[in-house]
Amino acid sequence: MIYTEKDHKYKRYTVTSALPYANGPVHIGHLAGVYVPADIYARYLRMQGEDVIFIGGSDEHGVPITIKARREGCTPQDIVDRYHNIIKESFHELGISFDIYSRTSCQEHHQTASEFFTKLYNEGKFIEQVSQQYYDEEAHQFLADRYITGTCPHCGNERAYGDQCEACGTSLNATDLINPKSALSGSKPVLKETKHWFLPLNQDEEWMRQWILEGHKGDWKTNVYGQCKSWIDAGLQPRAVTRDLDWGVKVPLEGADGKVLYVWFDAPIGYISFTKQLKGDNWEQWWKDEETKLVHFIGKDNIVFHCIIFPAMLKAEGSYILPANVPANEFLNLEGDKISTSRNWAVWLHEYLKDFPGKQDVLRYTLCSNAPETKDNDFTWKDFQLKNNSELVAILGNFVNRTLVLTHKYYNGVVPAAGELTELERQTIEEMRTFPERIGRSIETYRFREALSEMMNLARLGNKYLTETEPWKLIKSDPERTKTVMNLSLQICANLAILAEPFLPFSAAKMQQMLAMKKHAWTEAGEANILQAGASINQSELLFEKIEDSSIQAQVDRLLETKQQNELNAWQPAEIKANVAFDDFGKVDIRVATILECTKVPKADKLLQFKLDDGHGADHPRTIVSGIAKYYPEPEKLVGMQVCFIANFEPRKLRGVVSEGMILSAEDKDGRLVLVTPSQLVTPGCNIG
């Protein structure tokens, strides 16, 4: 391997990925930020012959799960059972190669988390504090931050949560909210004293400054190092490790009824409990041996938990290793907007797998090539289509298919023997030999986009070689040299079948099957004799197929429908105007009229011309022009209907028609204008007051 982190040779690797909340499915933001890069890294280590475990599981505790259960009228266990299965199956189908995918609601985890807490408690590693927290007197319980809503003091959003305003992104304390109310009963909560246990992070500042700011300067990613430095420089504060809640790991102390371990405390312990499930009595060497490298793959919202809080817990326990690296990514946006589970603004993995069967690697490729490694990035369906059609199909798939088709055409599927090499072959082989190290170096330094690009550069090298040698022409003039060309082209295909495996496992397996290859170690790549002359290969199948515009448009339309629905859901009535005197209202003459005629105003798409019986009979109709044509495309159907109108407005001319008043309409939350009508027929000319 190419050891880049202080040239430390490790005996084994513990690779973890952030535990997704089991209150909803997995979306592409999770995949791009955490699971695809973690899987690439773990697969690569295995191909290098390293001893590695890849740990994953569902985070099944915490307030978001209890909120969803309350909304759906079921138990938290019902929620986590449903989504754990969806998430686990989706990961499996995408090829995320966990050695174990468990869950924090299992007995092994509850026991491990309880024992961890108890050891720290018995050794005096916690401090007890009594604080005031919001309490719902109607529901008879303390309120977690997410159970409190109110007005954000920063932007005025009236639907901010007690821990964060999703409108402006500001982190909040529940006591910061203006006009707080309980999400359980809707009542105003009161402050009430409660006791909790805290991890005194302020006591960890000195060693953490040395460990992170001095020890990992230069080898941790800039965004990770910067966020840690900001927290440490601001001064670390004690952090509560327990909560007043009835769902989670119970606090194993007398007098702690109704309290559970805070989810941020119990969830990372899941990595340890899952390792116990996987490795049994041998689990400790994966967490307590200095020759084990611990790597956490997370999103940027988890940096503090995995770089400061969880290490402080491990250090307090005393026998655990600390993470060697935490290669956190930034966020992936969707079509220019922040991914939001609450607004359903996401591409859900289980839906993608259903809509695009057999195209797991297309999603893996797109998310890796567009990974938010250094800054937030954006996923668009058009780019997804372009990545597939212009790169996977046109470059990688095209090269492999051309090579195999020509081999069957010229040699009946038998690998021809290479003859004398020209300078072009020697240069191509020399360049091919550099790819395993180039790709490996990028993977080991967590630059997965760069690694993927290098893999595709090998496919580009193959295409370039075929284009320059033109074996379809050369076969006519120099059949012996054509054998050399096709042999080398097949060797490049074989190298691709090895080097693509961490990124595109399904396509790599397909290439290996078509080439009749056995599985190879990473160290075997880069050679020009992977396929032996005289060996038979199988028939070529298309690795990738073009994705048509109609498939992409269907996804775009789905998102547009979601956006429109979100706008409707976010609608709030306009603020009530300033009070007016009754006499002022009395000046407006509002009456009822019957529609006699209704036609479109020529050369005015928005206008309808009404002729009304306002009480003076059909022989003396009132004319009013109204801008509601968009909402009433068949105006003739309005004849006979009664409407409300203002009778004492000054007449004015609109497109050459004198309008004598204004017909009243209501604007719905989707922008539609709807005529205001009496609930029963009344005599035309009746006053409204």
- Residue 318 burial (10 A CB sphere; 0-12, 13-18, 19+): exposed
Q: State the pLDDT at residue 131.
A: 86
Using DSSP's 3-state secondary structure scheme, residue 70 falls into helix
Quickly tell me which residue has 């899941």 as its tokens. Answer: 270
Q: From start to end of 531-640, where are the E strands?
A: 590-600, 608-613, 622-626
Tokens of residue 475, six digits: 């076969």
Q: What is the rounded distance in angstroms from the CA atom of residue 461 to the CA atom of residue 482?
A: 18
Q: Of the candidates 368, 365, 364, 386, which has an alpha carbon nearest to the alpha carbon of residue 377?
A: 368
pLDDT given for residue 8 in this prediction: 65
Q: Render pLDDT for 254-312 as a digit per residue (tens, 0 to 9).
A: 989 999 999 999 999 999 999 999 999 999 999 999 999 999 999 999 999 999 999 99
Please spell the DSSP secondary structure of 515-557, one letter per residue: TTPPP--GGGTT-S-SSPTT-B-PPP--S--PPPHHHHHHHHH
Contact in structure between 195 and 251 (CB atoms under 8 Å):
no
Whole-number Å distance between alpha carbons of 429 and 436: 13
For 355, half-sphere exposure in the C-beta direction (CA atoms, 13 angstrom radius) is: 18
Q: Residue 223: in which H helix or E strand, if any?
A: helix 222-234
Residue 558, C-beta contacts closer than 8 angstroms, at least 6 positions apart:
none
| Torsion angle in degrees (nearest 10) through CA of 234, 239, 245, 246 | 140
Cα-based distances in Å from 547 to 382, 384, 389, 513: 10, 9, 7, 24
Within 10 A of 501 (CB to CB), how many other CB atoms are there? 25
* C-alpha span between 276 and 514 (Å, rounded): 39
Answer for the pair 536, 413: CB distance below 8 angstroms, yes or no.
Answer: yes
- Give the position of tokens 């693509």: 500
Six-digit token string for 32? 């791009």
Q: Please answer whether residues 227 and 239 qualify as being in contact, where contact means their C-beta atoms are separated by less than 8 angstroms.
A: no
Establish how many alpha carbons lie within 13 A of residue 485's alpha carbon, considering only the half-sphere containing its beta carbon. 23
Q: What is the pTM of this model?
A: 0.86
Residues 6+ apart with CB under 8 A from 107: none
Q: Give the residue from 211, 256, 251 showing the smallest Cα distance to 232.
A: 211
Distance, in Å, from the CA atom of 145 to the CA atom of 52, rounded to the nearest integer, reads 38
Cα distances (angstroms) measured from residue 575 to each of 153, 400, 572, 578, 579: 19, 64, 9, 9, 12
Give the Cα separation of 576 and 573 in Å (integer): 8
CA 656 – CA 339 distance, rounded (Å): 50
How far apart, in whole angstroms, are the C-alpha atoms of residue 74 and residue 665? 42
Backbone phi, then psi, for 667, in 5-degree steps? -95, 115
Burial code (b: 16+ CB inside 10 Å, e: under 16) for 63-101 equals bbbbbbbeeeeeebeebbbbbbebbbebbeebbbbbbeb
How many Å apart are CA 152 and CA 162, to the nearest integer? Answer: 9
Per DSSP, the chain holds a count of helices (H) and strands (E) of: 23, 26
CB 515 within 8 Å of CB 490: yes
* Structure tokens that stand for 594 in this block: 């019957």
User: What SS3 state is found at 640?
Assistant: coil
Q: Which two tokens stand for residue 257?
A: 């009824």
pLDDT of residue 103: 98
Q: What is the pLDDT of residues 240-256, one digit of tens each?
A: 999 998 899 999 999 89
Place of tokens 């309808």: 608
Percentage helix, strand, coil, to 5, in the chain? 45, 20, 35
Cβ atoms 142, 192 nearer than 8 A: yes
Please answer whether residues 517 and 494 qualify as being in contact, where contact means their C-beta atoms are separated by less than 8 angstroms. yes
Phi, psi torsion values for 145, nearest 5 degrees: -55, -35
- The residues, any chain, with a CB within 8 Å of residue 315's CB and separated by 6 or more, are 204, 207, 322
Which residue ranges in the chain fall short of pLDDT 70? 1-8, 169
Smallest CA-to-CA distance from 228 within 169, 321, 303 is with 303
303 alpha-carbon distance from chain centroid: 16
Order of strands, sheet of 12-17, starting from the edge strand that comes earlier in the sequence: 100-103, 51-58, 12-17, 292-297
